[in-house]
Amino acid sequence: MVGKGEKKPKGFKFANARQRLESAGLTEQLATPDDLPVPDRFDARHREWLLAVVGASRSHLRSNRESAELTHGRAAKLINVHLKARFECGPWSGHARVGALHPPIDSMLLDGLEKNGPHGSNWTARAWWDLDNAAYESLVERIRQVFGAEQL
């Protein structure tokens, strides 16, 4: 684990990101919001995608003798940006299933929550890109508590 303020590992190329997403089942066949899980099943499905993306990254590292592992925090952001770009930036932004999407968590979001408002503290205690699955899910739940029924 890398602490806050330490240098974060570099990202990876677009082609590698696309391969990881596709290996997790995030393909063109996920074409409309009706293809997304219903809201009360979204978190479980997101966890499956996340573990599949991280697993695909680990397999790639072993086969290519690379050293930079895709963390859960980075994998979650990759998935969330992909889903938000595909569904929320189009005509489906008001769809109930789109409303269940997780926000892309990064330092801008966490710094804003830390500095602006009565949301408690410790939003930035751990670097977003270094989150494990449990810390990521806990953070999403805290964000939901702040924004309530609002689409994230």
Residue 84 inside a domain? The answer is yes
Tokens for 33, please give them.
């919001």
Report yes or no: 35 and 97 within 8 Å, Cβ to Cβ: no
In-domain check, residue 101: yes
Residue 115 lies in a domain: yes
So what's the pLDDT on residue 1?
43
Domain count, the chain: 1
In the block, tokens 């998935």 appear at: 79
Q: Is residue 134 part of a domain?
A: yes
SS3 53: helix
The pLDDT value recorded for residue 150 is 73
Contact 53, 136 (CB under 8 A): no
Weakly modelled stretches of the chain, pLDDT under 50: 1-3, 67
Q: What is the pTM of this model?
A: 0.84
pLDDT at 124: 86
What is the model's pLDDT at position 2? 46
9 in a structural domain:
no
Residue 2 within any structural domain of the chain? no
Measured between alpha carbons, how far is 124 from 18 in angstroms, rounded to an integer?
Answer: 28
In a domain, 127, yes or no: yes
Tell me what pLDDT residue 46 has. 97
The HSE-up count of residue 140 (CA atoms within 13 Å, CB side) is 23
Range of the domain at 110: 14-147
- What pLDDT, on the 0 to 100 scale, is given for residue 17? 84
Evaluate whether residue 7 is within a structural domain. no
* DSSP H/E element including 72: helix 72-83
Residue 123: both structure tokens together: 């939003």
Q: Which pLDDT score, from 0 to 100, does residue 68 have?
A: 58
Is residue 137 a contact partner of residue 47, using CB atoms and an 8 Å limit? yes
